[in-house]
Amino acid sequence: MSNCIFDKIINGEIPSNKVLENDEFLAFHDINPKAPVHILIIPKKHVENFQEADAKILGKIGEFTQEVAKLMGVDKSGYRLVTNCGADGGQEVMHLHFHLLGGTHLKWTNAKENSDPKDTF
């Protein structure tokens, strides 16, 4: 029995609003969306975060993500892909996941108003 919330979603202990699934990956709606389209994409194998993932899983999850983008209708309009990694990255769920965000013109926060990174971070 895993305590990981995404493992529980994978094995059906916790419900999710699924978008796409195959043997290795699952995509579902984020419970607290930050954009009109906000999908989480995860491997079914428990990998802690991006830093722990191997090339095989990253390549395959990339192709799976492209399919999710098409399904959500943002493949042409564009989207943002984010993965928070570790404590400084703000990762809250310790199971590798990519946030696919789109459906609106996203702003690039911090980039303009904080042009000198050392004043900000």
Check binding of 88 to ligand AMP (CB under 6 A): no
Q: How far is CA 61 from CA 24, 52, 89, 101, in A?
A: 9, 14, 20, 16
CB of 84 to ligand AMP, least distance (A): 4
Check binding of 16 to ligand AMP (CB under 6 A): yes
- Choose the binding region for ligand AMP from 27-35, 53-61, 66-74, 101-109 (rule: CB under 6 A): 27-35
C-alpha 4/C-alpha 7 separation (Å) is 5
Pair 38, 29: CB distance under 8 Å: yes
CB of 27 to ligand AMP, least distance (A): 11
Q: Among all residues, which ones are annotated catalytic?
A: 97
